[in-house]
Amino acid sequence: MCFYFKQSKDALTLAKRFKVQAGNDEQFVKGDFNAFTFPKVPVITDKQRDIFSGYYWGLIPDDGADLSIRKFTLNGRIETLNTVKSYRNYVQNRCLIVADGFYEWGVNSEKCIVRSEKCMVRSEKSIVRSEKSIVRSEKGIVNSKKCKYLITLPDESLFAFAGIYSPNGTFTLLTTTANELLAKIHNTKLRMPVILKPEQEEMWLSDTDIKNFSKPFEYELSAKLIDAGQDFKKNSNLDDILIF
């Protein structure tokens, strides 16, 4: 899944990288984007490839759907676009969502030292390693540690997510099966955003069969651990995101 990403480059850098006009400065938005605020995001559409357009995250179908549908269309599985009612009429409406990083949270045994679902108790020394524990009740996780990672290209350069959009100015960011790196981090759903290689961007906008883009990103990605000690209780906002 992908609900948070960042874009920190200036307008000229974006214009040069994606070969668009630099005249519509109001669409060159920098900062962190949180899907659950349904932000306006700079995208490049198949209909206007030479400019950035400001589209709102969370696709709203042109069939009189209520605005509340947005929270269910923040991400769309690329494998099932043609069968999901909210998306199937927009598979040919392609867009690029520009970014230079995205954030993922996960309970990671290698990086976050959460290695067991049981408390580690050393009876001889009466040492309870609570910081390495996940405490579970009959109803599920009560408290756990989540690690926050920033995922980028190794040189932190710009890239594009694959998206589809509605003519009403809303879009969905597409996801696919996680690659090896993201599977280790985002180990609850084993998903990742569809990241396009530079040579795929024009193909995506040109209505190439979506099956050609459903494989996990094969280029090298870097993961920077930026917060290893956050505690979240069940039903917190972050847990809601992880199980969405």
In this predicted structure, the answer to whether residue 27 has a pLDDT above a threshold of 90 is no
Residue bearing the bigger pLDDT, 243 or 186:
186
Question: What pLDDT is stored for residue 134 in this prediction?
Answer: 29
Burial class (CB in 10 A: 0-12, 13-18, 19+), 132: middle
Question: What pLDDT is stored for residue 160 in this prediction?
Answer: 97
pLDDT digits (tens, 9 = 90+) for 109-163: 444 433 322 222 333 333 233 333 323 332 333 345 678 999 999 999 999 999 9
Question: For residue 101, how many other CB atoms are within 10 A of its CB?
Answer: 21
Q: Which residues pair with 173 in a beta bridge?
A: 75, 163
The fold of 4-105+151-226 is hypothetical protein yedk fold (3.90.1680)
Average pLDDT, the chain: 79
What token pair was written down for 112?
């976050």
Share of the chain above pLDDT 90, in %: 57
Pick the closest to residue 134 from 108, 154, 159 (CA basis).
Answer: 108
pTM score of the predicted model:
0.78
Q: Is 7 helix (H, G, I), strand (E, B) or coil?
A: strand
Question: What pLDDT is stored for residue 92 in this prediction?
Answer: 96
Question: What pLDDT is stored for residue 139 in this prediction?
Answer: 36
* Maximum average pLDDT range among 60-64, 116-120, 197-201, 223-227: 197-201
Question: What pLDDT is stored for residue 93 in this prediction?
Answer: 97
Residue bearing the bigger pLDDT, 142 or 202:
202
- Domain ranges in the chain are 4-105+151-226
- Give me the sign of the Cα torsion angle 83, 87, 92, 96: negative
- Helix, strand, coil shares of the chain as percentages rounded to 5? 20, 35, 40
Give the mean pLDDT of 173-181.
94
User: Residue 131 in contact with residue 114, Cβ under 8 Å?
Assistant: no
Residue bearing the bigger pLDDT, 58 or 243:
58
pLDDT band, very low/low/confident/very high, at 21 (cuts 50, 70, 90): confident
What token pair was written down for 176?
């696919």
Give the mean pLDDT of 184-209.
91
Residue bearing the bigger pLDDT, 102 or 107:
102
